[in-house]
């Protein structure tokens, strides 16, 4: 599993994430803003409350919003999520 060690909310509904293998990058989440549970991000103060949940290794926000670290890793590295998941499971 790709573990997140830090997250920094940025303007424009973006986050900067860093993983334990020192991979880091900026992810644009603006396409999710305003949709369903992500409507909470319409309030910039809520979006800026992003944090790393060490228990389940996700980026989380109040209201039960969380994002999978493997998907974020794929986004940062440009790798295909299927190949990341196969490498993780050894299948």
pLDDT in tens, 16-65: 999 999 999 999 999 999 999 999 999 999 999 999 998 888 999 999 99
Q: In the CATH scheme, what is the homologous superfamily, with its name and number, of domain 4-89?
A: NE0471-like N-terminal domain (3.30.2020.10)
Question: What is the residue extent of each domain of the chain?
Answer: 4-89
- Per-residue pLDDT at 91: 62
- Per-residue pLDDT at 90: 66
Confidence of residue 81 (pLDDT cuts 50, 70, 90): confident
Q: Is 56 left (phi over 0), alpha (psi -120 to 50) or beta?
A: alpha
Confidence of residue 85 (pLDDT cuts 50, 70, 90): confident
């Amino acid at each position: 599993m790709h573990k997140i060690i830090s997250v920094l909310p940025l303007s424009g509904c973006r986050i900067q994430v860093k993983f334990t293998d020192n991979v880091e990058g900026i992810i644009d989440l603006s396409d999710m803003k305003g949709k369903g549970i992500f409507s909470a991000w319409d309030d910039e103060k809520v979006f800026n409350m992003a944090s790393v949940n060490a228990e389940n290794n996700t980026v989380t926000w109040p209201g039960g919003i969380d994002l999978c670290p493997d998907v974020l890793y794929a986004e940062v590295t440009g790798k295909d999520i299927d190949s990341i998941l196969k490498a993780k499971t050894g299948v």
